[in-house]
Amino acid sequence: MAELDTSGGGKHKGGKVRSKKASTRIDLTAMVDLAFLLITFFMLTTTLAKKKEMDLAMPNNTDQKAQLPVAATRTMTILLGSHNKVEWYMGETGKSAPTVDNFGKEGIRKALIENGKNVAATHAAPDNFMIVLIKPSDKSTYENLVAALDEMNITGVKSYAIVKILPIELGDLQKNGLY
Amino acid sequence: MPRVKVARKSTFIDMTAMCDVAFLLLTFFILTAKPRVEDPIKAEVPVSSKEKAVPEENLATLTVGGKDQVFYSVTGSDIRAGALTAMGEKYHIQFTPDEVKRFSNIEIFGVPMVQLKSFIDTDPDARKAFPQPGIPTDTTNNSELSNWILTSRQADKALHDRALDIAIKGDKKEQYPMINKVITVLGKQTIFKFSLITDLKMAPKK
């Protein structure tokens, strides 16, 4: 009852000593089966692609004193409209006609790099970096906002902020069918 | 007779090495495993080229998605318990120690305070079917979302003496006004630095 069957499956009829040798081998098939089953389970339940994070600093609007005067010619304003389109212009609102552009390498990124170079060339160091204002309209999506912030990172814009859009800029977007 | 015996033995494969490898991998996966938290709403996050990983602790996540719903999750069961107790006091709802304990195991939730008690009392398996309308949010300083963030930060400060990080996990199709609302809520608490959760762009510089 309580003893182990150490014979190797009853395959020997004569040799008594040899049967002992075979008995030291354990059949691992079931164990390996189980191990692989568990591996499969754990592989499928773990998240392999870890989510990334993008740090964002909003301007502290409670402190009105911490505001610096900045040349309008150094600022570039990006308006985020609907249909994944953007509009951008340099300088003050209403002074120059905005350009409608797309996201991506040939769109806003090109404009950012070119304008950044222009600003750096026309202003005296050390205040010759471009300042970008991102103004999302109510029709833009979160994806647009993240894409715009990502472009800041890609093009190496040092100074940027998310700013509330002005009614006149909404009118511009409306004119171009982006709002 | 002896020749037959040898032939039979050769069919037996030595699985020791295979077993070793299998268990090595198994140990690895068990140790690195972190159960995936099912979001009550599908928040498909936008892509970016940032490669900074999301911290695994000391983080409060605001998931925005669905029909402008906000879900709240914070790491650490002690912080969750502390936040719930403080929220209970604020909204005059008594939570039993058992309910606090059960709540501290809930990873993510999106129910208003009035429904929270019944949500906690729901069986964990049935919780998935519980309709979660999202946490009430407005831009005042006294919305439930604002209070959840505040109480969690206070609990984190009291328990661990550190500043809680805030992350926004937004669905990419979410309209900007809702995101702006959440950012405003954070701004009201003078949280101006937070992070946006994104996926790594698969084909960089497209």
Distance CA B118, CA B188 (A): 30
Q: Is the pLDDT score of B168 beyond 80?
A: yes
Question: Does residue B8 or residue A100 have the better pLDDT?
Answer: A100
Question: Does residue A38 or residue B107 have the better pLDDT?
Answer: A38
**pLDDT at residue number B116:** 81
Spatial CB neighbours of A101, under 8 Å, sequence gap ≥ 6: A85, A86, A87, A88, A107, A108, A111
**pLDDT at residue number A37:** 92
State the sign of the Cα–Cα–Cα–Cα dihedral B86, B88, B89, B94: negative
> What is the tens place of the pLDDT at every residue in B14-62?
888 888 998 998 898 888 877 666 677 777 778 877 777 877 788 888 8
Spatial CB neighbours of B103, under 8 Å, sequence gap ≥ 6: B80, B81, B84, B95, B120
From B42's Cα to the closest Cα of chain A, the distance in A is 15
Least confident piece of the model among A22-31, A107-116, B108-117, B165-174: A22-31
Distance CA B161, CA B157 (A): 4
Please name which of B125, B36, B45 lies closest in space to residue A43, comparing C-alpha atoms.
B36
What would the mean pLDDT of B89-100 be, rounded to a whole number? 84
Ranges of chain A whose pLDDT falls below 70: 1-23, 47-49, 61-67, 94
**pLDDT at residue number A1:** 43
From B136's Cα to the closest Cα of chain A, the distance in A is 20
Q: Which residues of B touch A104 (CB under 8 A)?
A: 206
Question: Does residue A1 or residue B148 have the better pLDDT?
Answer: B148
The mean of the pLDDT values for chain B is 80
Q: Which residues of B touch A40 (CB under 8 A)?
A: none
Is the pTM higher than 0.80? The answer reads no
Q: Is the pLDDT score of B193 beyond 70?
A: yes
Going from N- to C-terminal start, the domains of chain B cover 2-32, 47-200
Question: Does residue B203 or residue B56 have the better pLDDT?
Answer: B56
Distance CA A111, CA A99 (A): 10
> And the tokens for A126?
């050390």
**pLDDT at residue number A165:** 82
Residue of A nearest to B168 (CA): A53
Integer CA distances (angstroms), B122 to B98, B109, B136, in order = 13, 13, 21
> And the tokens for B27?
């140990």
Contact yes or no for A36 and B22 at CB 8 A: yes
Going from N- to C-terminal start, the domains of chain A cover 72-175
Contact yes or no for B49 and A140 at CB 8 A: no
What is the CATH number assigned to the segment(s) A72-175?
3.30.420.270
